[in-house]
Chain A
Amino acid sequence: MPLLEVQKLSVAFPKPGGYEEVLREVSFCLEAGETLALIGESGGGKSVLIEALLRLLPRESRVSGRAFFQFQGRDLLAMPLREHRSLLGQKIAWIPQAATEALHPLLPVGFQLAEPLLVRGIPRREAYARLVGLFRALDLPEEALHRYPHQLSGGMRQRALVAGALATGATLVLADEPTKGVDVLRKDQTIALFQKSRVLNPGMGLLLVTHDLPFAQALAQKVVVLYAGKVVEEGKAQTFFQGPLHPYAQALLEALPERGFKPLPLGLGREGRGGCPFFPFCPEGSMPCEEGDPPLFQTPKGRVRCWRYGDTGP
């Protein structure tokens, strides 16, 4: 059984006159010891997916689908909230995106990061020793533990959150843009720390939500690309970064400064008009794409939701 198996996860938020679907039947598997990079548009629902797994979405949102977690084989989305909460900080760790808002402004950083360990009965001294070791690995001064969040820079807060999550020794780490605001040198240290924690904790699975494609390339074994709330490509990281299949994924890589920095004006999508949602912006699009939304086609290089890879048209 995989460490985490997400099946047909859909999330919708209420809007005037109905619901707005943010995720549509997203499925993927994360194996133990594996790193899966989930990439896609900003505002495309990647963070929502993590928050759905953490059951942190607002009550009025509509969530369906399943997410089986290897530990006890339970469905994270259906189990009683109390039991789910007891997994957080213990079996499941979260590296939240907004480092500024994720830390309590009135409490020292170390106090907040040690809390999940203390709750589990780990002695204070040991909890702090673990954090100090991780802080060192991330080039954070030990005294940063005793500082307040506003006394650290954005990149330092982000690294502190990475240290806090890894200190829990969780088997499933959900990381939401862990390198946002982290400089190049420290990014390498973050990569090294994740690699090291995989060695120390070989069963750890890392679900990495990121825009930072070079970072994803350095760490991930598997890549899942989301566009318009759906998985449009899924495959091995190595083959993906050599040559992605889906036109959206290709545009994503070509927009990187080191790979051409090609802008692609993204206007409004094709909400409710049917057809492939990427069609209006697709350099490869042709008439059939306008008519039917493609399914995921299996190819030797991975799965891709694009008519170009199908044997038959829509």
Chain B
Amino acid sequence: MEIQALDLWKRYSRTWVLRGACFSFRRGEVVALLGPSGSGKTTLLLTLLRLIPVDRGRILIDGEDLFRRDPKAYHRLLAYLPQHPEGSFNPRWSLGRSLEEPLRLLGLPLRRDRVLEVMERVGLSPGFWGRYPHQLSGGELQRAALARALLVEPRFLLADEPTAMLDPIRAANTMANLLHLVQKEKLGLLFTSHDPDLARRVAHRILLLQEGRILTQVAT
């Protein structure tokens, strides 16, 4: 299975952020997206996730515009790990409620045992079910965000700076976990980063986003 982004253009008021970005990536592949701050890395992820519309361009799954035909099926394929997990949980919902939300939105069966099982996989004990976001540390929230992403059994994981909030040991642990998931479940992982050393270390390919275009694709 492959995602293709063809000639993506996106602007915010008068500023063009994406100017014809093209690339593709497959299941089982680890791809790092590097670029200066403000170069549009997050925007590119959000357009792939169809959380913001593009002004021009097409995003295809195995050559088909799946989102147009079946948005829910599309959203099941791609999961998202946001840059700021602390801002991505409803502060008034318990963690359990937040984790069930994607299942609810995508019309999947609400099975508490399944949610607890995924929580355990990322290292959150069942005691976290009833906790609220402000009662979790940054690292715990990040694990919760990972659990939320994995619950819909995606094929692709788009992670926005997955290690930015973490100390070096936890960063190495998180990447080791993600790489393990990639192998075990044959996920495609696209992650943004500011750390070229990290990208060289873990990615199969490095994409460089500059001035709204994918400049180079370096194989590591």
Q: Is the interface of B mostly helix, strand, loop or mixed?
A: helix
Number of residues on chain B facing chain A (CB within 8 A): 35
Chain B residues lying within 8 Å of A253, measured Cβ to Cβ, are 168
Are the C-beta atoms of A43 and B37 separated by less than 8 Å? no
Are the C-beta atoms of B138 and A154 separated by less than 8 Å? no
Q: Check: A300 CB closer than 8 A to any chain B CB.
A: no
* Residues 83 to 104 of chain B near chain A (Cβ within 8 Å): 83-84, 86-87
Bound-state Cα–Cα, A181 to B197, Å: 15
Interface code B8-44, partner A: CB below 8 Å = 1, 0 otherwise? 0000100000000000000000000001111000100
Chain B residues lying within 8 Å of A42, measured Cβ to Cβ, are 137-139, 165-167, 170
* Residues 162 to 215 of chain B near chain A (Cβ within 8 Å): 164-173, 175-176, 194-198, 200-202
Bound-state Cα–Cα, A262 to B169, Å: 8
Known: A98-B86, A100-B87, A153-B42. A181 touches B172 (CB 8 A): no
Are the C-beta atoms of B37 and A100 separated by less than 8 Å? no
Are the C-beta atoms of A264 and B173 separated by less than 8 Å? yes
Interface code A17-55, partner B: CB below 8 Å = 1, 0 otherwise? 000000000000000000000011111100000000000
Output the least CB separation between A188 and chain B (Å): 12
Are the C-beta atoms of B168 and A181 separated by less than 8 Å? no
User: Which of A151, A261, A265 has the largest count of B CB atoms less than 10 A from its CB?
Assistant: A261
CB-nearest residue of chain B to A187: B194
Are the C-beta atoms of B167 and A252 separated by less than 8 Å? yes
Are the C-beta atoms of A183 and B36 separated by less than 8 Å? yes
Bound-state Cα–Cα, A305 to B169, Å: 19
Bound-state Cα–Cα, A265 to B174, Å: 10
Chain B residues lying within 8 Å of A287, measured Cβ to Cβ, are none
Q: Check: A78 CB closer than 8 A to any chain B CB.
A: no
CB-nearest residue of chain B to A100: B84
Known: A151-B12, A156-B38, A183-B35. A261 touches B172 (CB 8 A): yes
Q: Check: A182 CB closer than 8 A to any chain B CB.
A: yes
Bound-state Cα–Cα, A253 to B168, Å: 7
Q: What are 22 A-B residue pairs whose CB atoms fall within 8 Å in the complex?
A: A42-B166, A100-B84, A100-B87, A101-B87, A152-B38, A153-B42, A154-B83, A156-B37, A158-B37, A181-B194, A182-B194, A183-B36, A184-B195, A186-B37, A187-B194, A211-B167, A211-B171, A255-B169, A255-B172, A257-B201, A257-B202, A266-B173
B interface residues, Cβ below 8 angstroms from A: 12, 35-38, 42, 83-84, 86-87, 137-140, 161, 164-173, 175-176, 194-198, 200-202
- 8 closest A-B pairs by CB: A155-B37, A43-B137, A153-B38, A257-B197, A255-B168, A255-B172, A263-B172, A258-B197
Given contacts A101-B87, A156-B38, 4 further A-B contacts (CB under 8 A): A42-B138, A43-B138, A151-B12, A153-B38
